[in-house]
Structure 1
Amino acid sequence: MAVPASTYRVQLRPEFTFADAAGLAAYLRDLGIGALYASPVLDAAPGSTHGYDVVDTTRARPALGGEDARRELAEVLKRSGLGLVVDIVPNHMSVEVPKVNRWWWDVLRHGRDSEFAGYFDVDWDRGPLLLPVLGDDDAVAELVVEDDELVYYDHRFPIAPGTGGAAPREVHERQHYRLVGWRRGNAELTYRRFFDITTLAAVRVEDPKVFAETHGEVLRWVADGDVTGLRVDHPDGLADPGGYFQRLRENAPGAWIVAEKILHPGEPLPQSWPVDGTTGYDALREIAGVFLDPAAEPAFTALAAELGLETGYHAVETEARRLVTDRILVAEVRRIAALLRGVDADAARAAVAETMVAFPVYRSYLPEGEAHWAAAIAAARRTRPDLEAALEALDARVRAEPDGELATRIQQTSGMVVAKGTEDTTFYRYTRFAALNEVGGNPDRFGLDVEEFHRLAASREAGHPAAMTTLTTHDTKRSEDTRARMAVLAEVPGEFADAVRRWSARRGIDEPSLNLLAWQTLVATWPIEPDRLRDYLDKAAKEAKVRTSWTDHDDEFEADVAAWPEDVLGDAELTADVEAFAGRITGPGWSNSLGQKLVQLTAPGVPDVYQGTELWDFSLVDPDNRRPVDYGARRAILARIADGEQPAVDASGAAKLLVTHKALRLRRDRPALFAGYRPLRAEGSAAAHVLAYTRSADLVVAVTRLPVGLEAGGGWGDTVLPLADGRWTDVVTGREIGTRPRLSELFDRYPVALLVRGDA
């Protein structure tokens, strides 16, 4: 199997094409990477900046260079000894521009008689396809007929054969679809979508024919050896994820396959999935967590309460999920409830919604995940005893037919409720300590102790040693270095609380959760350009849906938020105070960054490096994390490191590239060193400030944690790291190390060490 030593994620887009990716091959080889990991490469909607809005699964995206450029990229990577991992999107396709999706265009033209009608998950029994694209229902009067198409401004739709030759409104009434006001989509949509995005229509890959049509081209690339791995986007949206992965594995037996699956703490990956593991959000939660000081939790809870935030996490989460079921995914809830025949419609809808609100995980995989289903039903019964009869009927029918339509649809939709309610709403409302608010994270769990980290790392090595691990992705709420610096706040909770009080009194935001998030973000990304911060806060405010949202705007509030960055940075006294505070946490943040990076690169799993993060990267949520990367600067630093330079830990970030390079090269060139996992414990007064482990008898990793507390306690003092007998070398510095090194000496240049016994 083509398991890479590591991967390097690039965001392909019209401004960064197959040819540009090919130009990175030599750099990635020299850095120590095992495979290039690309965002979706099939043809996408016009102008797409991310590629997840696929319109044609049968060809490489022309805007990236098309088939010839794709083949050239594959050949360049092969010559460089690199694999190619491709991100695939089986759950949905873009229908925003109907004409560029020939399957959708044919469905609109011919309705149920289209040869592609079964490709999409459409509720045909509810009449014509509902397309929520108009400003409002009355805008149907603005339709015109042009070139045998119905036209609404920039939107064009096909006319069924024999239905033209009349006024536009009359022609519209003859079609297999109905154009309606965009606000009707959430409640009345007649096709399954991706989350709440009506321009992404769900695809029925559970149908073998549809699977073959949507995967044929990518599987040809796998068979030809051009693609060595597949990252599968959003499997929780599929009707039968286990069956899908079994079919995918049968058709790509030698490929490395990882699933974008978010696991709740303690939740196992379904055993029936023949995949190598997840895309690493579980590892992110664990690695970031071990660099947090849990003792700070009461102080941050008190600050949040003082500022007027709700501090009960589950209360916020429940409210946010209920908002999703009651206002955003209304059409989906209604479609599921309609399958609960013999139950009052209102009670059925309430029972379905309450069950999905109560899910302890993203979805169950019945019958395999029966315990999670049972927990959701039990929680719903406690919350809504008045729905006992409806919940009992729902539970009985789902258990009786775990593969039936009712069970399938509620499983598909529960993940949407959790993702929209938790990740996209709660994480912007419950801002007590934002470093915890990460994809796959649990803001109610304040950090992770060292022993728990060891247990989970050993479990990954035993169960899924080829799973991907990550610290930053295109979906993370903030980059790894932003998160690492934010973690320092947990070591100075009192000082930060005092600062927030001062700053808020001078220029706060009149919404407590956004105000606290803004100050955390400002110091964690300092210095940040005002326009980047403005765009982030605008998105955060709209995702939180407290004072404004994407669809219902509070213009006065949005204007105040938009003015905040310039107001703060234009106030010299306030800026000086913020800058001084940010300066005090910058160094410890660098220590955290280097520590968590070395752990991710050396712990069990296949580490992924997100584009550009081999240097410091203080990005925020997309699109901020999709900004262009300066590879010229990175090549120059790597060249100096190859010549023997050992850069200082400073604002250049060169020290991070050094650590990344040394760990990746060792992992690629000496894979036998990375077998097994055992905790290694330091001895001495500061032993709690080191995380150390062995991957084999000849490899030891040691990193600093909680650096502010370490300094406050007087430093390393007498603390030592006991090693096995032999000649040890720190790969990062090249220095020879004794068998009982004092940590004050081991970490005198860098807060991390990568030790190899014998010939390094």
Structure 2
Amino acid sequence: MFPEPRATYRIQLHQDFDFFAAAEIISYLAELGISHIYCSPYLQAASGSTHGYDVVDPTRVNAGLGGESGHRAMLQALKQASLGQVLDLVPNHMAIPGRENPWWWDVLENGPSSPYASYFDVDWDSSEDRWPNRVLLPVLGDHYGRVLEAGELRLVQDQGEFTLKYHEHSFPVDPCSLSGLLARAAHNCGSDLLGFLAGCCSRLPRPTVTKRREVMRRHRDKAVIAGLLTGLCAEPGPRMAIEGEVDRVNQDPDALDRILDEQNYRLAWWRTAGRDLGYRRFFDINSLAGMRVENEDVFAATHSLPLKWVREGSVQGLRIDHPDGLRNPAGYFQRLRDTCPGVWIVAEKILEPGEQAPPDWPIEGTTGYDFLNLVTGLFVDQSKEDLLTDFYVSFCGNDQDFKALVRVCKEKVIRELLGSELNRLTSLFVAVCEKHRRHRDYTRHELQEALVRVGANYPVYRSYVRTGSGEKEPVVSQADKYYVREAIALAAEETPEPDAELLSFLEALLLLEIPGVLEGELAMRFQQFTAPVMAKGVEDTAFYRYSRLLCLNEVGGDPGHFGTSLEKFHRQAGTARDKRPLSLLAGSTHDTKRSEDVRARLCLVSEIPEKWRNQVQAWHEQNRKYITDGVPEPNTEYFIYQTLAGAWPISPERLEIYLEKALREAKEHTSWTSPDKDYERRMQEFARSVMQDERFCRGMQEFIEPLIPAGRVNSLAQTLIRMTFPGVPDIYQGCELWDMSLVDPDNRRPVDFQMRQMFLAELPGLQVQEIMERMNVGLPKMWLIRQALGLRRRRPHAFGPDGEYRPVYARGKKSDHVVAFLRGEIVLTVVPRLVLGLGGDFEDTVLDLPPGDWENVLTGERLAGGKIELSRLLDKFPVALCARDREVKAE
């Protein structure tokens, strides 16, 4: 079994921060108390990748990060510091940028005959009537015919290798399509060998063959042809003849069209992807193609290198990206667990409120968004919900509740972004209904509308039903039944509602109650459909439209639910300890909409709705002169003020970049696929004007100034909870000091590790008062993390899977402002909440320390068991971490 991780530190690797740079900070992370670095994906990614999730070759380490030598340097540094490593794996998809991906390149060249054709989730029959056995490639800037006739497509020959070029794009050429060109060139130069090769191309097994013997013959003969052709092109006569024919083809759109028509792909206008794409994508990103990792050969090929590192002991943990995209996540995790039983595995599973990770997944837990949202809500003042909501509605003029908005956004995403996926699913539904006489007379439109309605109403990311095979029975959990039936019921309530019998039929199909291959395929495909619908409809649309309290608009969160009660927090903590005690605990991630420190400050808005209302109204009146033709509309203006309040101070450049993303994600007035440049220009002019308005900036600073200390206390409180909650705390790069970042790319700015190393080296020689005096640079946060992780190292049994969790409740007038709990009965966490309402005075509020001698490892104070006043406990440092017995003296 793996050594239990104490804490992880997320590192974003890219060309400007590669393996060598990571190696240089390993000793710093060890001193901080980290047990495992947690790297972004570093298998070979597309050129210039800044994140690593666009893998093109999983059999190689990323050359752009330093390659093998850089990787060895990082591993050596980890070994010297006795740190482990968690690797981020991407099993759901690969990037397909031309020949950088050798597997995809082979598929384009050889079609279904490619040995990698089964690796990618391509539906070769999806458009049988228009382009059978071909992959649609939506890369052209205009309609195919217009691009062809404008001369933007051309055939290229280089030393016998033929490719098709479109600007920066490159595509392989099926040798079968070259027989005519080579035959004409052979005739022109009188080369018998070239004529022979032309004949070989015409006799080559077609790319549609799939029988092993024919496939092997095609690839053998193709390789021989390529070798001989390369040799011939070294001779002036054949080379010039071939070049002449290539020039002739490029000058004749009809001739080039004939060659293009014989390829295993169809080049098309980029907008066709919205309806006709024949392969599963990652969300709506055409350049990321879905993988069939449920295929054992695909699993072995894509995981061979990471599993080699696991066997060698250089990787101790795996973070699995987007398992909801997989056909059978439970099967995938079981295969992964069987292959590497001694590895800590966490999944990027986004749990909706109230949802639990499937219990049959043999993993340690999630990447922590469920924890993140639970803790954020704890610092939201639930008693002020109506006041804040009333103002939000009156200012924005929209009283649509969040659930209704989600339904609208999900349907928009289905129809406008995921049309290809919807059409593939509809075709499958049509085929199913053709087999059942009671349902075969439904029109394609009716069937599609039923899928849209149920998909838009699906309450979680997906179900996890599994079709049976052989003697195995289908697997349908109670949770699957609950969520499917809820979606069907919600769809039935709509007007005009789909036919009730059709919905009942669809429900039975999705719950595998109707046997059949196509029937089971529909259920499995539907699960892979609802996941991107949820992600794009909620996280990437609704979250940018609903602005009541932006700290709640986080991945896996429900902005319609206002905060977390103390009772719910303790209840969820107990569940986490009992069910997933080694799950990851996130604060900030590379995907969070706002950093932990921005959210911590924005939570304060919930405590001061009257003051917030007055301030926003004042800003609105002051900035009315910058509003042009109704832009920004009130909801967006409100969104901007909250963003500024959370991230202040922020540069105009950062704000403008963020606004472009936020506005396009909202998809109301502009979008990534249909940007409205005029609207965006007016928005940016508004943002620029207010940021250049000295009066506004002075007013913003005056409003934020008294919130900064309270926001930092919130952050320290949330950080200490993360360090001691059941699970494994994770720190996103740079967040050991204050970090006021927004969503990427803002949260991927360079981190000043040299400064952090200097601060960490100073800490042992400083008194608590001196640390608190340097609050502005974030020293108290680094100190808290260092001391908490040091305690976790010395008392692992208190925080491990067997470490008990017990709530401790304060007594007194301000007891609701205190969160406290014991781990293993020997470590006590105490933090304040709703600190503005607390007003710096706990009055008579006390806490009962269990019997024994205690030490606050954040201040060094000795404490005796029994009643202790909160004002005394939190006098020198805003939060308290107390450990029983003298042996835990702070180092």
Same-fold call, TM cutoff 0.5: yes
Q: Pick from 159, 163, 172: which aligns with 2:173?
A: 159
Greater alpha carbon shift after TM alignment, 453-462 vs 548-557? 548-557
Give yes or no for the alignment of 1:213 onto 2:219.
Answer: no
Q: Which residue of the partner structure matches residue 11 of structure 1?
A: 12
1:701-722 CA distances to partner (integer Å, 9 max, x unpaired)? 00010110000xx711111111
* Counterpart pick for 1:658 among 776, 783, 795: 783
Residue 309 of structure 1 corresponds to 398
Deviation at 1:252, TM superposition (A): 0.9
Correspondence list, 1:636-655, <5 A: 636-646=758-768, 647-648=771-772, 650-655=775-780
Q: Distance in 1 between matches of 2:686 and 2:341?
A: 54
Q: Distance in 2 between matches of 1:390 and 1:110?
A: 41
Larger radius of gyration: 2
* Residues 174-227 of structure 1, C-alpha deviations (whole Å, 9 max, x = no match): 111111111111111111000000000000001000110001111010011010
* Aligned 8 A contact 1:263 1:282 in 2: yes
What one-letter code is carried by the residue in structure 2 that aligns with 1:579?
Answer: Q
Which residue in 2 is equivalent to 1:362?
A: 461
The 3-state SS of whatever aligns with 1:727 is strand
Give the CA deviation at 1:306: 1.3
Percentage of identical aligned residues: 44
Shift of 1:140: 3.0
3-state SS of 1:190 partner: coil
Q: Which amino acid aligns with 1:630?
A: D
Correspondence for 1:224: 312
Name which of structure 1's ranges 545-554 and 111-120 shifts more when overlaid on structure 2.
545-554
Query: Which of 192, 196, 200 lines up with 2:284 in the alignment?
Result: 196
The letter of the residue matching 1:304 is Y
What SS does the corresponding residue of 1:386 show, helix, strand or coil? coil
| Contact 1:301/1:311, CA 8 A, preserved across alignment | no
**Cα shift at 1:23:** 1.1
Cα drift, residue 402 of structure 1 = 9.6
Q: Quick one: structure 1 residues 401 and 661, their matched pair in 2 at CA, closer, same or farther if it must change by over 3 Å?
A: farther
Offset, 1:751: 1.4
* Aligned residue type for 1:659: L
- Match of residue 553 from structure 1: 675
Q: Determine the structure 1 residue equivalent to 2:214.
A: none
Structure 1 stretch displaced more, 375-384 or 263-272: 375-384
Stretch deviating more after TM superposition (624-633 or 549-558): 549-558
**Mind listing any 5+ residue stretches in structure 2 that lack a counterpart?**
182-248, 250-254, 434-441, 466-475
- Cross-structure match for 1:679: 807
Native 8 Å contact 1:190 1:331 kept in 2: yes
Matched residue of 1:117: which SS?
A: coil
Cα distance 1:651–1:563, how it changes in 2: closer, same or farther (>3 A)?
Answer: farther
Give the match for residue 353 of structure 1: 452
Alignment partner of 1:756 is 2:883 = yes
Q: Does residue 389 of the first structure (1) align with residue 501 of the second (2)?
A: yes
Q: Who is 2:156 aligned against?
A: 146
Counterpart CA distance in 1 for 2:372 and 2:499 is: 39
Partner of 1:690: 818
Match of 1:468 among 580, 584, 605: 584
Distance, in Å, in 1 between the alignment partners of 2:500 and 2:812 is: 58
Match of 1:518 among 623, 626, 640: 640
User: Which residue of structure 1 lines up, in the alignment, with residue 873 of structure 2?
Assistant: 746
Q: Is the 8 A contact 2:38 2:85 kept in 1?
A: yes
**TM-score normalised by structure 1 residue count:** 0.98
After superposition, the Cα gap between the structure-2 partners of 1:401 and 1:613, relative to the gap in structure 1 and judged at 3 Å, is farther
Query: Compared with structure 1, are the counterparts of its residues 309 and 584 closer, same or farther at alpha carbon in structure 2 (3 Å cutoff)?
Result: farther
Letter in 2 for 1:54: V
Contact 2:319–2:367 (8 Å) recurs in 1: yes
**Aligned equivalents of 2:717, 2:460: Cα separation in 1:** 30
Q: Give the CA deviation at 1:401.
A: 4.8
Deviations 1:635-673 (A, max 9, x none): 111111122343116211111111111111111232122
Q: Which residue identity lines up with residue 648 of structure 1 in the other structure? A: M
- One-letter amino acid of the counterpart of residue 667, structure 1: R
Shift of 1:511: 2.1
Match of 1:261, SS? coil
Deviation at residue 725 of structure 1 after TM alignment: 1.5
What is residue 277 of structure 1 aligned with on the other side? Answer: 365
Answer yes or no: is 1:373 the counterpart of 2:373. Answer: no
Structure 1 residue 387, shift from structure 2 partner:
2.9
Between 368-377 and 726-735, the greater mean CA deviation after superposition: 368-377
- The alignment partner of 2:789 has SS state of helix
CA distance in 2, matches of 1:168, 1:626: 44
Which residue of 595, 601, 606 corresponds with 1:485?
A: 601
Instruction: Please tell me whether the aligned partners of residues 130 and 188 of structure 1 are also in contact (alpha carbons under 8 angstroms).
Output: yes
- The Cα of 1:727 is off from its aligned counterpart by 1.2
CA gap of 1:195–1:54, structure 2 versus 1, over 3 A, is same
The answer as to 2:795 corresponding to 1:670 is yes
The DSSP-based 3-state class of the residue aligned with 1:16 is: coil
Does the aligned pair in 2 maintain the 1:468–1:607 contact within 8 Å? yes
| Residues 381, 606 of structure 2: 8 Å contact kept | yes
Contact 1:435 1:486 in 2 (8 A): yes
Deviation of the 1:553 alpha carbon:
2.1
From 542, 547, 551, the counterpart of 1:435: 551
In structure 2, the residue corresponding to 1:738 is in which secondary structure?
Answer: strand
CA distance in 2, matches of 1:387, 1:330: 22
Match of 1:444 in 2: 560
What is the rounded CA distance, in whole Å, between the counterparts of 2:536 and 2:635 in structure 1? 18
- CA distance in 2 between counterparts of 1:402 and 1:489 reads 55
- Residue 370 (structure 1) shift: 2.2
- How much does 1:502 deviate? 1.2
5 Å-filtered alignment, 1:10-89, equals 10-89=11-90
Instruction: Give, in angstroms, the shift of residue 65 of structure 1.
Output: 1.2
Question: 8 Å contact 1:304–1:311 — kept in the other structure?
Answer: no
Contact 1:354/1:380 (<8 A) preserved: yes
Q: Against the structure 1 CA distance between its residues 401 and 41, is the aligned structure 2 distance closer, same or farther, given a 3 Å change threshold?
A: farther
1:310 Cα deviation (Å)? Answer: 4.0
**Residue in structure 2 matched with residue 104 of structure 1 by the alignment:** 104
Q: Distance in 1 between matches of 2:271 and 2:173?
A: 24
Corresponding residue of 1:709? 837
Q: Check if 1:178 corresponds to 2:266.
A: yes
**CA distances 1:500-539 after superposition (whole Å, capped 9, x unpaired):** 1111222265222221111011011111111001111111
Q: Distance in 1 between matches of 2:443 and 2:501?
A: 10
SS of 1:14's partner is coil
Native 8 Å contact 1:428 1:513 kept in 2:
no
* TM-score, length basis structure 2: 0.84
Task: Check whether the contact 1:703–1:752 (CA below 8 A) recurs between aligned residues.
Answer: yes
Shift of 1:71: 2.7
Task: Name the residue aligned to 2:471.
Answer: none
Paired letter, 2:851: D
Query: Bigger shift: 729-738 or 414-423?
Result: 729-738
Q: Distance in 2 between matches of 1:645 and 1:156?
A: 62
Deviates more, 1:186-195 or 1:719-728: 719-728
Partners of 2:825 and 2:360 lie apart in 1 by 33
Shift in Å, 1:392: 2.4
Question: Is this contact kept in 2: 1:34–1:83, CA < 8 A?
Answer: yes
Gaps of 5+ in 1: none
Aligned length: 757
Describe the superposition over 1:533-568 as per-residue Cα deviations: whole angstroms up to 9, x where unpaired: 111111101000111111212222201221233311
Amino acid at match of 2:106: D
Give the 3 Å change call, closer, same or farther, for CA 643–201 of structure 1 in structure 2. Answer: same
Contact 1:534/1:564 (<8 A) preserved: no
Superposition map of 1:240-639 within 5 A = 240-307=328-395, 308-340=397-429, 341=431, 342=433, 343-366=442-465, 367-368=476-477, 369-383=480-494, 385-398=497-510, 399=512, 400-401=514-515, 404-507=520-623, 509-639=631-761
Query: What is the CA distance between 1:305 and its match in structure 2?
Result: 1.3
2:140 corresponds, among 120, 134, 140, to: 134
Cα shift readout 1:103-135 (whole Å, capped 9, x = no counterpart):
000000111111111110111012221111001
